[in-house]
Amino acid sequence: MGGHVVPGQKLPLRPLAEEFNTSLMPVRDALNRLVADGALELSSSRTIRVPLMSDERLVELHEIRCALEGLAGMFATPAISVSSIDRMQALIDDMAAALEQYDYDNYIGNHYSFHFTLYGAAVRPNLLTMIDGLWLQIGPYFRQAVERANTAKSDPNVGHRRIVAALRARDADEVQASLEFDLMAAIEMLNEGVWP
């Protein structure tokens, strides 16, 4: 999800087991779960790798994310606490600082915390699990998009500020629209050709 494994990269079992200081079995089980979640794919030669992104897959993931994340935002709007909204604002500030320092690990961690602070307030655990799975699939591409946008000096936090303003106004429709705006900005970054 953090984008440390790049699209098309193969994930051999033995080096992973050595890296995590464990046997092959738990690594195989973890990779098989990630294949089942759609985050990895198993080739005909039994090689596990990060799948390449097609335009069709990107559009489908975007459509599903808009529906599910917008729904979570609508449920969360009346329920989220002022302290959680304040935390989201602080996370925007942290994301901006991370981008200034080209610290993409910190940016991505804060970005996840920002969105999942909102989605968690919806108190819909099954919905949260579905959204998390979608983020897992888009992670390798999102990191590349953020790096490219930052190099171009784009501001990926415009949508985040809109979301916070809509939450403060307790406007569920605007929260949903702002989430869709934010997701569209990410799709536009991805459409700049950041994958092979």
Does one domain contain both 36 and 62? no
For residue 196, being part of any structural domain is answered with no
Q: How many domains would you assign to the chain?
A: 2
Same domain, yes or no: 121 and 147 = yes
Instruction: Domain of residue 27: give its range.
Output: 13-49
pTM of the entire structure?
0.86
Q: How far apart are CA 122 and CA 74, in angstroms?
A: 8
Contact between 132 and 72 (Cβ < 8 Å): no
pLDDT digits (tens), the chain, 196 positions: 777 888 888 998 899 999 999 999 999 999 999 999 888 998 878 889 988 888 888 889 889 999 999 999 999 999 999 999 999 999 999 999 999 999 999 999 999 999 999 999 999 999 999 999 999 988 888 887 788 777 766 778 899 999 999 999 999 999 999 999 999 877 776 665 443 3
CATH code, 94 = 1.20.120.530
Specify whether 28 is located in the same domain as 70. Answer: no
